[in-house]
């Protein structure tokens, strides 16, 4: 399958601040990429740069053979990239029909009508065709925005936090609906989100950004199973962090010790162990942890625990753990690591909040 989008060594600076540095990314036709990362990591700038709202400083963007670089800064309107904005940016002075027809000026009236009707039917907007944006619900507005973008047959669709304004109850349904739609039309899409759950249910591929760089990209499964650095694991909330002490291949923690084979140690580096909830078990014996928070979820009780001895240099906090058995607050229990393929990450600071 050929790439519809290739980004090579892209850098962008705005007002002399480097926002994006050395971005490499590719997308095949029909593929959906979820772009995640903390606020200010450059996700929106990357979208804007692909769409053509920002100038790039170096590197190139190739959209279906159209090469955009410093010497050939193709303006936004010539890129054939659709954008769905966070608040949809529907034209308030135009009806749903006129909004969808907005980008269609090259086509004949007849063609326009056919295409708009098809989109209206596809997106279930037919009854709303003559309404104005302010008369629509959030979900309907989003569908109009999508229809408007699709009407001009974009090569790629960029979506900036498309679900953030949607009622949580409807969100899942809409995501599935939109995914089906994009897949059926074979349109590639990049969408930006804060929410890892959205990525896992919507994207084929995930790219995680941090400080203007893509630090990991791959399928959601790959990234979830093998985060390549602590920021990825931390942002995706894959598990909790357990401080460790490493001597040679011997790793000790409050919850037990183990050995690792393939660890390369650099001087002065601190390590933390990523502990997914399923790798912790409750065992009888001397208590080492205390229950700090209890919540009920569909997976059973969810507990956050801390070490009893907070003065221990390896003391941990807010360790996440699911169990079907009911514990009480401040109850002291003994936890143990279940042996698995341990994931240790280098980390510069000691405090990390999730």
| Site residues (vs other proteins, CB under 8 A) | 48, 51-53, 75-83, 85-87, 89-94, 102-103, 132, 134, 148-149, 151-152, 154, 158
Handedness of CA 239, 242, 243, 246 (dihedral sign): negative
DSSP 85: -
In whole angstroms, how close is the CB of 145 to other proteins at the nearest point?
8
* Helix or strand holding residue 63 (H, E): strand 58-63
In whole angstroms, how close is the CB of 170 to other proteins at the nearest point?
22
From the number of C-beta atoms within 10 Å of its C-beta (0-12, 13-18, 19+), residue 245 rates as: middle
Please state the length of the chain. Answer: 354
- Helix, strand, coil share (%) of the chain residues, nearest 5: 25, 35, 40
In whole angstroms, how close is the CB of 300 to other proteins at the nearest point?
38
From the number of C-beta atoms within 10 Å of its C-beta (0-12, 13-18, 19+), residue 326 rates as: exposed
Q: Which residues pair with 321 in a beta bridge?
A: 303
Closer to other proteins by CB, 94 or 304: give it.
94
Measure the CA–CA gap between 276 and 190, rounded to whole angstroms: 28
Cα-trace Rg, the chain = 24
Closer to other proteins by CB, 98 or 201: give it.
98
Q: C-alpha dihedral over 96, 101, 103, 104, to 10 degrees?
A: 170
In whole angstroms, how close is the CB of 84 to other proteins at the nearest point?
9
In whole angstroms, how close is the CB of 102 to other proteins at the nearest point?
6
Q: Which of 286, 231, 339, 249 minimizes the C-alpha distance to 241?
A: 231
Closer to other proteins by CB, 93 or 350: give it.
93
Closer to other proteins by CB, 80 or 245: give it.
80
In whole angstroms, how close is the CB of 191 to other proteins at the nearest point?
14
Closer to other proteins by CB, 43 or 196: give it.
43
Closer to other proteins by CB, 161 or 234: give it.
161
Closer to other proteins by CB, 53 or 352: give it.
53
DSSP 130: T
In whole angstroms, how close is the CB of 52 to other proteins at the nearest point?
7
């Amino acid at each position: 399958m050929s790439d519809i989008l290739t980004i090579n060594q892209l850098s962008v600076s705005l007002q002399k601040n480097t926002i994006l540095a050395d971005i490499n990314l590719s997308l095949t036709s029909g593929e959906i990429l979820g772009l995640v990362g903390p606020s200010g990591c450059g996700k929106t700038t990357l979208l804007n740069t692909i769409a053509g709202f920002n100038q790039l400083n170096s590197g190139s963007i190739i959209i279906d053979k159209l090469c955009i670089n410093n010497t050939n800064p193709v303006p936004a309107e010539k890129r054939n990239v659709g954008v769905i904005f966070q608040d949809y940016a529907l034209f308030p002075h135009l009806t749903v029909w006129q909004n969808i027809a907005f980008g269609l000026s090259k086509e004949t009236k007849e063609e326009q009508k056919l295409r708009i009707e098809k989109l209206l039917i596809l997106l279930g907007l037919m009854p709303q065709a003559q309404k104005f944006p302010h008369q629509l619900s959030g979900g309907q507005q989003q569908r109009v925005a999508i229809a408007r973008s699709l009407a001009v047959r974009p090569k790629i669709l960029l979506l900036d936090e498309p679900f953030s304004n949607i009622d949580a109850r409807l969100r899942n349904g809409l995501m599935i609906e939109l995914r089906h739609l994009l897949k059926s039309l074979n349109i590639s899409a990049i969408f930006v989100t804060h929410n890892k759950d959205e990525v896992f249910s919507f994207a084929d591929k995930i790219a995680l950004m941090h400080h203007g760089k893509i630090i990991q990209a791959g399928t959601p499964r790959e990234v979830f199973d093998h985060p390549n650095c602590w920021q990825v694991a931390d942002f995706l909330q894959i598990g909790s962090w357990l401080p460790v002490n490493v001597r040679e291949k011997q790793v000790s923690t409050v919850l037990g010790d183990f050995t690792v084979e393939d660890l390369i140690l650099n001087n002065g580096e601190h390590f933390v162990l990523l502990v997914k909830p399923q790798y912790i078990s409750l065992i009888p014996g001397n208590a080492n942890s205390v229950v700090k928070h209890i919540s009920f979820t569909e997976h059973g009780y969810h507990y956050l625990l801390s070490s009893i001895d907070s003065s221990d240099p390896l003391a941990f906090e807010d360790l996440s753990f699911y169990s079907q058995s009911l514990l009480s607050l401040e109850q002291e229990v003994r936890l143990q690591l279940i042996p698995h393929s341990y994931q240790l990450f280098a980390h510069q600071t000691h405090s990390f909040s999730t």
